Structure 1
Amino acid sequence: MSVAISYSHSDSEFALELTQQIFLRGGQVWIDQCEIVAGESIYDKLQEAFSNASVVVAILSPESVESFWCKKEVSSAMTRELDEGRVVVVPVLLRDCEIPYFLKDKKYADFRESFDKGISDLMPAIEKYGVPNAGRIEAGSDDFTNDFSYETIVKDSRLTLRFLLFQHSSKMPISIFSDVEFRFNEAASAEWMRYHATGNDAFGEMTLVEWACRHAADEDWAVVLESPDPVTQQWLVRDSNRGFECELVFNCRRLGDETGRATIVRGHSEIEKILDVVRTRVRPPDP
């Protein structure tokens, strides 16, 4: 999760402490005191940081709400919220102040009395809104709720994306656990490396999975579960024009009561559901 911090320099000591605590909890934090070097354009670096961050933490104090730069940073992030249709700005109340009108309806992390209380309020919000690779898809016409996560694995210059899906329903006697791996060859992995070099990892991952799903659409990409025993199937997807290859490895098993009937899990449609969610959270690269 990438986090940018908007703050007044009168609050710089607090901002540095907050940066350290978010970092210790697994966040990648951008703060201008650490990231801008002599000779670089402050405006350009701020624009880049606040455009690419998954979450913008806005530290609110009497000084910050009057700061020209803070107003610009937060208003830019709020514009992203409208464009992307998701939460980008998470307010932090450091000292009593007049909260800007466009933040008034947001729940803030309250640091006024205790840093520990504030950080316990803040981290769940960062983890919820700052991580595009985990979430829940509420039940649709099939009555199944889908919990998912995915991880990025790079080894020997080759990219693997691993999706974990857990499908469950209060109306059904069974649940389904799936483990899907997209194992890309060096040519496809190099495409992701180009996105990675510009800080657009998640967009690159989504682009490659969309490519693999599109080329696998003609395959009967399904697993039939006839018992609680795990089932594994593999497919190979190729694009000879680009030199891309992807090995799809689909591990699946059924949990719960034995029904005596076969269960069909269609991997393509399940991954598409996840992509629909991830698309709303991932910002495309700037042109």
Structure 2
Amino acid sequence: MTVFISYSHRDRDFVSSLAKMLVHARHNIWIDQWELNAGDSIIGKVQEAVGEADALLVVLSQASVASEWCQKELRTALVRELDEKRVLVIPCLIEDCDIPVFLKEKLYVDFRDNKGEAFELLDRSLSKVSNPAQSRIETKDFHTDWSVDWGDFDGEPVFEWLYVDHGPSIPYSVVTRIRLIVEDLDLLEFREMAKSGTHIRFGCDCLKKFLEEDKDGELRIKIEDENEIYETLPFVCPDGRNATIFWGVRRLGEDNGMSTLFSVDNLIRMSIQHSERVLREP
């Protein structure tokens, strides 16, 4: 997940300091002073970055408000926010200025006074799109809330993904659970992976291989009653470690007397995409 910072170069020192703090807090930041090289197309690179960003920080100052360049970046992001309902636009006020009318309805981060509290609010607000371990997947008729947890169980490293499908248009919820137990992963190494943040990428790589091995489409199932559908399978991780995968699906809520066609593979694929977008380098 990339956070694009739109700012006036007159505010370069503040933005450089803010960007370094955000990187330290494990956010992927795109600012022109870090990403552009001699000979690059400035317009092309910036438009591409704004188009792919998941969040846009608008640094508001007298200089940026007067900048036509900043206004173009902001308009591009706002159009995406309205059309796709995905990009997050966060105004950051660093000095007294006239806030653009299309930003006045948004809660802004105020860096004019207590910069520590302001950064905490910004960091917390970005977690909506920058947490690789949980998210909400929006669809037309319902949405999926999911998260991944990890730890050791009986001396073995375990990952567990939990998905809950629900929405106002369906009278029931569907809970999906996937558990990966890696027998050949030393606990000390596992804890070091978790400390460095590489554990989620390892889990994603395992899930991708699990999807690739589903040649017969067994992860696309028909749910006919309230009983859990589950399967436990031996598995070899991409790096050759032996493991076991358990997956189970259960329908909760109102019984409408009808079967439910359900795609576990789509859930896995969408959660992988989110995690990899957050973890990718800007």
TM-score range, shorter chain: 0.5 to 0.7
Aligned AA (2:18)? L
Q: CA deviation at 1:32?
A: 1.0
Retained in 2: the 8 A contact 1:54–1:131?
A: no
Q: Choose the corresponding residue for 1:272, options 237, 244, 266.
A: 266
Q: CA deviation at 1:163?
A: 6.9
- In 2, the alpha carbon distance for the partners of 1:129 and 1:59 equals 19
SS at match of 2:37: coil
Query: Residue 122 of structure 2 corresponds to which residue in structure 1?
Result: 122
1:148 aligns with 2:147: yes
Query: Residue 65 of structure 2 corresponds to which residue in structure 1?
Result: 65
Matched ranges for 1:117-196 at <5 A = 117-131=117-131, 134-136=134-136, 146-149=145-148, 164-165=161-162, 177-179=177-179
Q: 1:118 to 1:267 in 2, by over 3 A?
A: farther
- In 1, the alpha carbon distance for the partners of 2:41 and 2:144 equals 47
Q: CA deviation at 1:64?
A: 0.7
Stretch of structure 1 that moved more, 29-38 or 128-137: 128-137
- In 2, the alpha carbon distance for the partners of 1:231 and 1:218 equals 10
Q: CA deviation at 1:130?
A: 3.9
- In 1, the alpha carbon distance for the partners of 2:233 and 2:274 equals 30
Stretch of structure 1 that moved more, 65-74 or 39-48: 39-48
Retained in 2: the 8 A contact 1:233–1:250?
A: yes
Q: 1:71 to 1:274 in 2, by over 3 A?
A: farther
Query: Residue 29 of structure 1 corresponds to which residue in structure 2?
Result: 29
Matched ranges for 1:167-246 at <5 A = 177-179=177-179, 216-217=216-217, 232-233=232-233
Query: Residue 75 of structure 2 corresponds to which residue in structure 1?
Result: 75
Q: 1:163 to 1:23 in 2, by over 3 A?
A: same
Aligned AA (1:32)? D
Q: CA deviation at 1:271?
A: 5.0
Retained in 1: the 8 A contact 2:160–2:180?
A: yes
Retained in 2: the 8 A contact 1:86–1:280?
A: no
Q: CA deviation at 1:222?
A: 8.8
Q: TM (normalized to structure 1)?
A: 0.58
Retained in 2: the 8 A contact 1:2–1:54?
A: yes
Stretch of structure 1 that moved more, 8-17 or 102-111: 102-111
Q: 1:74 to 1:271 in 2, by over 3 A?
A: same
Q: CA deviation at 1:85?
A: 1.7
Q: TM (normalized to structure 2)?
A: 0.59
Query: Residue 254 of structure 2 corresponds to which residue in structure 1?
Result: none
Percent identity between the two aligned chains: 31
SS at match of 1:178: strand
Stretch of structure 1 that moved more, 128-137 or 1-10: 128-137
SS at match of 1:63: helix
Retained in 1: the 8 A contact 2:161–2:177?
A: yes
Query: Residue 88 of structure 1 corresponds to which residue in structure 2?
Result: 88
Q: CA deviation at 1:212?
A: 5.5
- In 2, the alpha carbon distance for the partners of 1:83 and 1:213 equals 36
Gaps of 5+ in 2: 151-158, 167-174, 182-200, 237-242, 250-259, 278-282
Matched ranges for 1:3-14 at <5 A = 3-14=3-14
Aligned AA (2:48)? E
- In 2, the alpha carbon distance for the partners of 1:113 and 1:92 equals 12
Q: 1:88 to 1:216 in 2, by over 3 A?
A: farther
Query: Residue 197 of structure 1 corresponds to which residue in structure 2?
Result: none
Q: CA deviation at 1:5?
A: 0.6
Counting matched residue pairs gives 215
Gaps of 5+ in 1: 152-161, 170-174, 182-200, 237-247, 255-265, 283-287
Deviations, residues 7-48 of structure 1 (Å, cap 9, x unaligned): 111111110011000100111211111221222221112112
Greater RCO structure (CA 8 Å; 6+ sep): 2
- In 1, the alpha carbon distance for the partners of 2:83 and 2:58 equals 19
SS at match of 1:89: strand
Q: 1:219 to 1:272 in 2, by over 3 A?
A: closer
Retained in 2: the 8 A contact 1:149–1:164?
A: yes
Q: CA deviation at 1:178?
A: 2.7
Retained in 2: the 8 A contact 1:3–1:28?
A: yes
